[in-house]
Every structure is written in C-alpha cells, then in structure tokens.
Amino acid sequence: MNERNGVRSIDAGAPPARFARGWHCLGLAAPFRDGEPHAVEAFGTKLVVFADADGELHVLDAYCRHMGGDLSRGTVRGSSIACPFHDWHWGPDGKCTKIPYSRRVPPTARTRAWLTLEQNQQLFVWSDPQGNLPAADVTIPRIEGAYSGEWSNWTWDSLTVDANCREVVDNVVDMAHFFYIHFAFPTYFRNVFEGHIASQYLKTRSRPDYEPDARKSDTPTTEIGLSSEAAYYGPSYMIDYLNYDYHGVPMDAVLINCHYPVTPERFVLQWGVIVKKLPGLSPEQADKVAAKFAKFVGLGFQQDVDIWTHKSRIDNPLLCADDGPVYQLRRWYEQFYLDVEEIPADMVARHEFEIDTSRAVEAWEAEVAANLARRSGVPAV
Amino acid sequence: MTGGASGRVTGDRAAPPGDWAALPGGAARPDERQSQYCRVECRACGARVLAAKFSFQHTSVQWDGAAVRQCAEFSRRVAVGEQTPLIESCGAMSDSIRAAALDGRLPVVPP
C-alpha cells in the first residue's frame, strides 16, 4: 500500500539480484592494449582484460578456476593469460591451454570467456545471465564522428557510484532535474521507447543566472541553445548527439554516457566526448574544446552522484502531471532483467511521451528573473 | 479505479495498455497517473494507437507492432535504412491525435 492515513509511504524495494542483459562498455579500447592484464570489477566478480600478440582484446573471469588466483595480476603469454599463483595458462575462449608443471590439462579446465565487441574505439562485453548470444539487431551503432579526422579524440572519465544503476537510467525521463541539478532550462522534452532502445529528445536554453562569465565580461551574455537527441542502446550505453548554438556558432558534439554494474548496489559511470572541429581549429585545439566540454559534463554527473548517494531507492515515485514517464521507462528497462522468453510484447512495444513544458517554463522564468534581480541588487517585481 | 470525466468522452475509450499486474519480475508498475487512453486512427494510413493527453501539449501514445508496421511514414523511412525506435514521431499520426483532441474525441484531462 502506498498510503496510510493519507501519508504517502516510500516503497524502496530491492535492487534486482541479477545483472542486466546487454552490451556494456568497459572504456576506451586503446589503454587495454599495453601488453598488461587489466582488472575490471564488474557483474559481481572480477574480470581480466588483455590483448593478445595481434592486439585483439579478450575478457575472462579473473579468478583462476584452479585455486582462485587473480589472473589480472598475471602475465600475458602469447594469446593466453598466465595465473601468477601456479602459471596455469588460459586462452581467449576460456579453455586452459597449458599447465607447465603438469603432464595433462584436465578436460574440464574451462573458465568463463566474455563475448567482446570493439566499436567507436571502445571495448564492450556482452552480459547475459542465460548465456545466450546477442540477437542480430542488438548491437552498438557506429558513431561516424569517432572515425573522422574532422572530429576530436575521445575524452574519457569515470566515477564509481554506490547506488543501483537504475538511478542513472531514470534520468532519461527526468525533465525537471535538468533545471535543478544541471542548471539547464528544458523547453522541449519527449521520450520514445521501442524494442531495446530508449530515446530522449531534449531542447534546453542556458540559464543566465548560472552563466559562469555573466559578471566577469563586458560582452552581453547571449543564450546558449542546445538540442540533444540521446538514446540508450540496451540497458547501459547511451549515445547523445548534441547540437549547440554557442553564442551564434553552431557546435556539434557526441556524448557517451554509459555504465557497468559492479554489484547490485554499485556501478561505474563513464562518459566520453568528441566534438566536431570548428573551421580553423587545429586537432589540439579541438581536443581542448572536447576536454572543456567533458569537464562541464563531469560537473553535472557529480551533481547527479551527490543526489544518488544520498537518496532512497524508490519503486513507487509520486508523479505530477508535468513529470516524465518514469513508470513506462522502468517497464522498458525491466526487459533486461527478464529471460528473453519472458518479455511480454507490450513491454517493448513503442511508447511515446511528450511532456508539456509550458507550466515549468513559466515557473522557471520567474525563478531565473528573481535570481538575476537578487544578484543585481534590484528587487524582483 | 477510473477517472471522473467519462461523461465528456465520446470516442471509444480504451483500457490502459499492458497487463502490468501479470508482469514477471514485479519491479515494473503501472503509472499511477490517470491517463484516459482513447483509440485514435491515423487519417493518412489507418494505423491505430492508444493516445492520452494530460494537457493540449502533453501526449502519450502507445503503439503496438501492427500499428508500427502499418504506419506509412515509418514504412517509408525504414525502407531507406532508418530504425523506428530512432524516429521521433510520425507527423500524420501527431496531426490525427491533435485533431482528435480539438474536436473532443480525445479528452484533455490532467491526472
């Protein structure tokens, strides 16, 4: 029950015991190619990522099936990873390839190998509690800018968050938090959920009461308009195509917002940015623009994290008319925690939801005006 | 529980989409906001969806697979390589829903 004596109760529920089915980005691929094994704590265990002699990346469970040694502290030997404890060698397919001190490798010596994918210079692993391969249409799309000399290199950052990863996914439908947490001013907000994809169409303008340069510069502050088309491809990888009108100069950027679960109550949030080079900018200058933008995005995520690590999990949010489709989004998200055979058709059927922003815009314009008036010392009318 | 404005509804009122109670997993719940879904047929291609409006600008639309396949705009765009989940909306369906709201077939009711 939600209510007793008219008082609303929070149903905190519990995070799902299993991890979402889907492609999960572990980060940029290049840093994994240094010849060393890399540890990644994810999916309730530890993984080891290593590159073979040809540079191809492989992911295995890190704990050696012999006596539990940590392969991520071992050594790459050709296309195998050798355990630091007893030198058992494990190949890319998870089979034990060699035990130097033994006359024979036990036929059952096999560990878990994770299906990998490289796309957009990033490394992905496929997580599926049922052990199935991904369906043909469930993939990570190519971002053209990531393969073009006209764009910057990727920035890449991460944060470990002590909360269930549903918190970050909820942002897809949360129009109002953009004003209160991210100091943006949403004017248009629409969601589409269909199949394994959840999209958010957002238009914002900047908040003159939070322009960092507002009082430092003599130049009048003009509004920075932003148009964003973001979509989750599966449970954890969002591509956000951004178009800014930066003081009259159009700017294109792509933001990756992705995560992987460490435990049901911890996840690693990662984000990366590329920007299209403005005419006349050198590659180094373009990278600087991307870095500046990534820093701004990072501040926004830190504000989110501050909320997430202090809030209650809530399975029964109390919504008003001007909130987004939180329940519909969570229903879409639930598909990744069910066996594929159990997913009802209407759970993944197309749902569109457009918020009426008129009331919010009216209230926020008044709030911004009051903030500006307070700053200038002139009382608001 | 049903909404209190049923007297104004002249179209074929529809139940909210989805049998949410029967859902395995249990974490997903129905939206508690009262949405008065009505069936709207596209004037261009005849695709039928469930639509609800909290206000004139707000719209929520539930499609099923048959409607997505029947939609003329989606079909045209899928034929040139687009994916329907990445199409923001169908213009003709949006017009049809707007027209239904304007002539009173689709109630505009805040939750």
For chain A, the first-to-last Cα distance in angstroms comes to 45
Whether residues B86 and A231 touch (CB distance < 8 A) is answered with yes
pLDDT given at position B27: 52
Which of B1, B20, B29 would best serve as a mutation to test chain A binding (most A beta carbons within 10 A)?
B29
Question: 3-state SS string over chain B?
Answer: CCCCCHHHCCCCECCCCCCHHHCCCCCCCCCCCCCCCEEEECCCCCCEEEEEECCCCCEEEECCHHHHHHCHHHHHHHHCCCCHHHCCCCHHHHHHHHHHHHCCCCCECCC
Q: DSSP alpha helices (H): ranges in chain A?
A: 166-170, 177-180, 283-308, 326-334, 358-376
SS3 B70: helix
Q: In whole angstroms, what is the distance from residue A333 CA to residue A312 CA?
A: 19
Contact assessment for residue A81 and residue A69, using Cβ atoms and an 8 Å cutoff: no
pLDDT above 50 for B21: no
> What is the distance in angstroms between the Cα of A61 and the nearest Cα belonging to chain B?
28
Q: Which residues are within 8 A (CB) of A178 and not within 5 positions of it... i.e. 6 or more apart?
A: A184, A185, A186, A202, A204
Q: In whole angstroms, what is the distance from residue A308 CA to residue A287 CA?
A: 30
Q: Which residues are within 8 A (CB) of A207 and not within 5 positions of it... i.e. 6 or more apart?
A: A179, A183, A184, A185, A368
Q: Predicted confidence band at A120 (pLDDT cuts at 50, 70, 90)?
A: very high
- What is the percent of chain A with per-residue pLDDT over 70, rounded to a whole number? 94
Q: Strand pairing of A266-275 and A116-119?
A: unpaired
Mean residue pLDDT across chain A: 93
Enter the tokens of residue A332.
Answer: 């879409």
- Phi and psi at residue A157, to the nearest 5°: -140, 160
pLDDT given at position B1: 31
Contact assessment for residue A218 and residue A260, using Cβ atoms and an 8 Å cutoff: no
Minimum-distance CB partner of A349 among B19, B20, B65:
B65
Contact assessment for residue B70 and residue B39, using Cβ atoms and an 8 Å cutoff: no
pLDDT above 70 for A27: yes
Interface A–B counts its CB contacts (< 8 A) at 123
Residue, of A161 and A4, whose pLDDT is higher: A161
Enter the tokens of residue A254.
Answer: 């792509």
Enter the tokens of residue A91.
Answer: 């190949």
Per-residue pLDDT tens digits for A248-307 = 778 899 999 999 999 999 999 999 999 999 888 898 988 998 899 889 888 989 999 999
Which of B1, B34, B88, B90 would best serve as a mutation to test chain A binding (most A beta carbons within 10 A)?
B88
Enter the tokens of residue A14.
Answer: 């519990």
Q: In whole angstroms, what is the distance from residue A336 CA to residue A218 CA?
A: 52
pLDDT given at position A380: 53
Q: In whole angstroms, what is the distance from residue B14 CA to residue B6 CA?
A: 12
ipTM of the prediction: 0.90
Whether residues A201 and B25 touch (CB distance < 8 A) is answered with no
Per-residue pLDDT tens digits for A332-358 = 999 999 999 999 999 999 999 999 999
Residue, of A154 and A2, whose pLDDT is higher: A154
Contact assessment for residue A89 and residue A97, using Cβ atoms and an 8 Å cutoff: yes
Whether residues B86 and A199 touch (CB distance < 8 A) is answered with yes
pLDDT above 70 for B20: no
Whether residues B29 and A315 touch (CB distance < 8 A) is answered with yes
What residues in B contact A334, CB-CB < 8 Å?
23, 25, 27-28
Residue, of A5 and B23, whose pLDDT is higher: A5
Minimum-distance CB partner of A190 among B18, B27, B88:
B88
β-sheet bridge partners, residue A246: A249
Contact assessment for residue A179 and residue A186, using Cβ atoms and an 8 Å cutoff: yes
Is A111 exposed, middle or buried, given 0-12, 13-18 or 19+ CB atoms closer than 10 A?
A: buried
Mean pLDDT, to the nearest integer, of A374-379?
77
Contact assessment for residue A224 and residue A247, using Cβ atoms and an 8 Å cutoff: yes
Q: In whole angstroms, what is the distance from residue A311 CA to residue A324 CA?
A: 19
For residue A213, CA distances in Å to A208, A228, A303, A319, B82 come to 10, 23, 20, 36, 41
pLDDT given at position B26: 45
Per-residue pLDDT tens digits for B47-103 = 999 999 999 999 999 999 999 999 999 999 999 999 999 999 999 999 999 999 999
Which residue from A130, A169, A125 is spatially nearest to A23, judged by alpha carbons? A125
A302: alpha, beta or left? (left if phi > 0; alpha if psi -120 to 50): alpha
